[in-house]
């Protein structure tokens, strides 16, 4: 037994010694495009680093400043608000759509194709189209609203409605992705539990609540994690449609750090924002993945 273990270890050691060099290119690539930029961002974040000026070491001053910067703190709040809405709605509607598309009905294939069209469009192009449709006087959306007797909306031209409107665009575009992931899960479900439940007299809702949802839960979690990461880093749509406005009403962390780095050319302060943002994303992702891991263990 001991001899076998020893042989296994020796074989593993020889294997590592013989083949380690094959991992070197990948390791170098990761170091160059992920590790180095991160270390450099950390380095910049502890400096007063302006594009056209000299660079000074300032320790944690940028981080302390961030904690007292109302504009940044509001950007964090807005990011969380936007992310929550832009995850919950697509996941909810996507789940419902997946259940609908799992059933057989005439022209199901065509309907599925139409449903996933928004996902295939270029975000910047559709953002430009939405911008035209949101115009308060000349946009088609207010024309439709007033045609059916409803009052016009200010859409992205008001602080009160700008984030819900951006969430609407995000939901329109990314619900199909959630639907596809969940539909994949539903397609792989076994038939037996449903037959058993039917014999036991379970209703449609009970089968959905106690059989479908638990079985496709891992797919829902994957979709939610993807949506959270996407929504947290949402930039193109907001940049094109509102550029963070009106005022700062839709200024998320991404928008603010872009403006700080490439509008104010304050790379040190923008780097500190990036680090805080990275921590935020890591914490949220770890919490979600931890939850999923816990469920798999149970």
Partner 1 sequence: MIRRRSLLAASTVLLAAPAIVRRAGAQAAFNWQQFKGQTITVSLTKSPRADNLQAHEKEFEALTGINVLSEQMPEQQQRPKMVMELASGRPSFDVTHFSLHVSKRVVGVGHWLEDMRPYLADPKLTSPEYDWADMSAGALRAATQPDGRIDSLPVESDVWLVYYNKQIFADGGVSFPKTFDEMLATARKLTDPAKGVYGFVARGVKNANVPVWTSLLLGQDQETVTPDGKTLLTDTPAAIWAGEMYKSLLRETAPPGVVGFNWNECQTSFMQGKVGMWLDGVGFAPPLLDPKVSKIADHVGFGVMPAGPRAHNCPVFTDAIGIPARSKVKGPAYLYCQWATSKQMALNLVNMGGGASPRQSTYKDPTLMKNNPFGQEWLATLLTSLTIARAGLPEIVPVTEFRDVFGIALTNMIGGADPATELRKATATFRPVLESSLKT
> In the complex, which residues of this chain contact partner 1 (CB under 8 A)?
50-54, 135-138, 152, 154-159, 162, 242-248, 259, 262-265
User: 79 or 259, CB closer to partner 1?
Assistant: 259
Q: Which is nearer to partner 1, 76 or 116 (CB)?
A: 76
Closer to partner 1 by Cβ: residue 112 or 135:
135
Shortest Å, Cβ 6 to partner 1: 56
Cα–Cα distance for residue pair 192/175, rounded to 1 Å: 30
CB within 8 Å of 39: residues ≥ 6 apart = none
Q: Which is nearer to partner 1, 45 or 165 (CB)?
A: 165
* In contact, 224 and 177? CB cutoff 8 Å: no
CA–CA gap between residue 111 and residue 117 (Å, rounded): 10
Distance CA 180, CA 188 (A): 13
Residue number, 113 or 158, with CB nearest to partner 1: 158
Please answer whether residues 98 and 179 qualify as being in contact, where contact means their C-beta atoms are separated by less than 8 angstroms. yes
Rounded least distance, CB 266 to partner 1, Å: 8
C-alpha distance across the termini of the chain, in Å: 33
231 phi and psi angles, rounded to 5 deg: -70, -35
For the bound state, the minimum distance from the C-beta of residue 81 to partner 1, rounded and expressed in Å, comes to 19
Minimum gap (Å) between residue 268 Cβ and partner 1: 12
Least spacing, CB of residue 173 vs partner 1, in Å: 21
Q: Which residue has the tokens 């094959």?
A: 22
């Amino acid at each position: 037994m001991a001899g076998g273990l020893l042989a296994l270890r020796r074989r593993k050691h020889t294997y590592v010694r013989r083949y380690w060099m094959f991992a070197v290119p990948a390791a170098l690539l990761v170091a160059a495009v992920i590790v180095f930029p991160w270390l450099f961002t950390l380095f910049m974040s502890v400096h007063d680093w302006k594009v056209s000026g000299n660079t000074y070491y300032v320790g944690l001053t940028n981080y302390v400043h961030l904690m007292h910067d109302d504009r940044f703190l509001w950007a964090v709040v807005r990011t969380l608000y936007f992310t929550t809405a832009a995850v919950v709605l697509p996941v909810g509607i996507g789940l419902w759509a997946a259940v609908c598309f799992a059933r057989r009905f005439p022209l199901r294939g065509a309907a599925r194709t139409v449903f996933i069209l928004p996902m295939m469009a270029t975000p910047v192009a559709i953002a430009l189209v939405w911008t035209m449709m949101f115009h308060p006087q000349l946009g088609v959306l207010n024309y439709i609203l007033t045609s059916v007797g409803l009052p016009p909306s200010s859409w992205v031209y008001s602080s009160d409605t700008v984030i819900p409107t951006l969430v609407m665009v995000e939901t329109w575009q990314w619900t199909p992705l959630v639907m596809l992931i969940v539909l994949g899960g539903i397609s792989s479900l076994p038939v037996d539990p449903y037959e058993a439940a039917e014999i036991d007299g379970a209703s449609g809702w009970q089968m959905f609540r106690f059989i479908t949802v638990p079985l496709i839960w891992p797919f829902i979690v994957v979709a939610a994690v993807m949506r959270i990461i996407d929504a947290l880093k949402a930039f193109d749509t907001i940049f094109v449609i509102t550029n963070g406005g009106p005022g700062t009403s839709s200024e998320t962390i991404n928008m603010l750090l872009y403006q700080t780095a490439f509008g104010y050319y304050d790379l040190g302060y923008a780097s500190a924002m990036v680090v805080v943002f990275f921590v935020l994303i890591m914490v949220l992702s770890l919490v979600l993945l931890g939850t999923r891991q816990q469920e798999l263990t149970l």
